[in-house]
């Protein structure tokens, strides 16, 4: 029997990118789900609402792998992973918020006992970004500081769910690992100019709450972890800053306000994408020591389509898991389970170049 893969939220922009990557790099039977109808009329579609627990359980049974792409993950409760553990099915997701990580990591021992390998944060950021950092950490003898920056052009080719995720990330302060202790920082604060590869160049980035801010402190012996995000054109950064620091907090605490801001932003980027493109650039800078001397490692990555890059990040981990190369029961953020040599091989096979 061949591998059967269920992609929850597979009719969305990120989910469909994951499905396309898997169909190109594996011979797995792929079933994608969505709450609406199958507008494209293609096979392998299952109408499913994640609130339908029995329907979800029935869909998962008989699969070799479930890939959870149905965000925003701020609101997900870990039920998908729980059912995977109960039915003995391996699990991946593209989760992008620490609150979800904190919910599901409590199932770690249950997953290990059930022989289920569950890998979190496998998209672009988090995802490819995590593996870029692991590669740098391994190049040094000791690590003192991780500085990870991302910039996305316009919508990034993603759907409105990503817009919702962005605004949800502005709602409250979060803790970051700074000088060996947890300190509170404000989202979209402390603007910093980072030199990204062409075509982005010098671009403003700001503190943003992503899972890496949290998991790197667990994964690596490091004193400081900085994660910053920005957009191009730059006026989007200023609009986001105003939203985070000037607008009444009730706008971001109210689902109606989040939806309004997301819809407006989606329409705006739909227009500016024609000029800005929908690409992504990332820069990972790791400082520490090498041969008892201060050393710095820096790598960068650029892709013309952020959603497609996310599909490559998740799809490559799925490919390796289906091939039996990442069989390690338990629950892991991607940087803890994906070896650097396999990461590099997968990126090369997808035409993604990492510049060191």
Residue range 69-100, pLDDT digits in tens: 998 898 898 999 999 999 999 999 999 989 99
Query: Judging by DSSP bridges, how do beta strands 174-178 and 181-185 pair with one another?
Result: antiparallel
Query: Judging by DSSP bridges, how do beta strands 280-290 and 293-303 pair with one another?
Result: antiparallel
Six-digit token pair at 21?
A: 């990557």
Six-digit token pair at 326?
A: 């990442």
CB 158 within 8 A of CB 307: yes
Cα→Cα distances 177→1, 145, 211, 267, Å: 46, 10, 12, 36
Looking at the predicted structure, is the pLDDT value of residue 252 above 50? yes
The rounded distance, in Å, linking the Cα atoms of 45 and 47 is 7
Domains of the chain: 4-123+309-355 (3.40.50.720), 128-306 (3.30.360.10)
Q: What is the pLDDT of residue 227?
A: 97
Q: What is the pLDDT of residue 41?
A: 47
Nearest to 148 by CA among 251, 229, 249: 229
DSSP string, 151-182: EEETTTT--HHHHHHHHHTTSS-EEEEETTEE
Q: Give percent above pLDDT 70 in the chain.
A: 98
* pTM score: 0.93
Average pLDDT over residues 276-289: 96
Least confident of 56-65, 169-178, 337-346: 169-178
The rounded distance, in Å, linking the Cα atoms of 111 and 114 is 5
Work out the mean pLDDT of the chain and round it to a whole number. Answer: 93
Looking at the predicted structure, is the pLDDT value of residue 1 above 60? no
Contacts of 270 (CB under 8 A, 6+ apart): 155
Least confident of 34-48, 56-70, 335-349: 34-48
The rounded distance, in Å, linking the Cα atoms of 356 and 344 is 12
Q: What are the backbone angles phi and psi of residue 349, rounded to the nearest 5°?
A: -70, -20
Six-digit token pair at 186?
A: 């404000």
CA 354, 321, 24, 334 dihedral sign is negative
């Amino acid at each position: 029997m061949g591998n059967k893969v269920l992609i929850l939220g597979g009719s969305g922009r990120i989910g469909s990118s994951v499905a396309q990557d898997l169909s190109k790099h594996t011979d797995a039977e792929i079933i994608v789900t969505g709450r609406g109808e199958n507008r494209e009329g293609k096979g392998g579609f299952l109408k499913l609402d994640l609130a339908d627990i029995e329907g979800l359980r029935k869909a998962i049974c008989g699969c070799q792998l479930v890939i959870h792409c149905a965000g925003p993950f701020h609101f997900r409760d870990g039920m998908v992973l729980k059912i995977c553990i109960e039915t003995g099915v391996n699990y991946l997701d593209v989760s992008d918020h620490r609150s979800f990580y904190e919910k599901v990591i409590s199932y770690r021992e249950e997953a290990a006992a059930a022989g289920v390998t569950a890998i979190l944060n496998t998209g672009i950021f988090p995802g490819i970004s995590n593996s870029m950092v692991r590669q740098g950490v391994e190049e040094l003898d000791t690590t003192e500081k991780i500085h990870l920056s991302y910039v996305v052009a316009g919508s990034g080719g993603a759907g409105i769910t990503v817009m919702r995720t962005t605004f949800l990330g502005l709602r409250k302060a979060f803790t970051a690992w700074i000088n060996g202790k947890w300190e509170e920082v404000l989202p979209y604060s402390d603007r910093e100019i980072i030199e990204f590869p062409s075509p982005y160049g010098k671009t403003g980035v700001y503190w943003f709450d992503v899972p890496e801010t949290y998991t790197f402190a667990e994964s690596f012996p490091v004193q400081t972890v900085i994660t910053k995000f920005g957009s191009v054109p730059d006026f989007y950064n200023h609009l986001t800053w105003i939203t985070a620091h000037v607008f009444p907090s009730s706008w971001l605490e109210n689902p109606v306000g989040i939806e309004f801001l997301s819809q407006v932003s989606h329409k705006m980027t739909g227009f500016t994408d024609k000029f800005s493109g929908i690409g992504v650039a990332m820069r990972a800078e790791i400082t520490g020591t090498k041969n008892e001397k201060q050393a710095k490692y820096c790598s960068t990555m650029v892709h013309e389509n952020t959603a497609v890059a996310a599909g490559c990040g998740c799809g490559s981990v799925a490919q390796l898991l289906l091939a039996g190369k990442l069989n390690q029961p338990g629950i892991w953020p991607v940087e803890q389970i994906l070896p650097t040599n396999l990461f590099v091989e997968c990126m090369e096979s997808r035409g993604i170049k990492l510049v060191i």
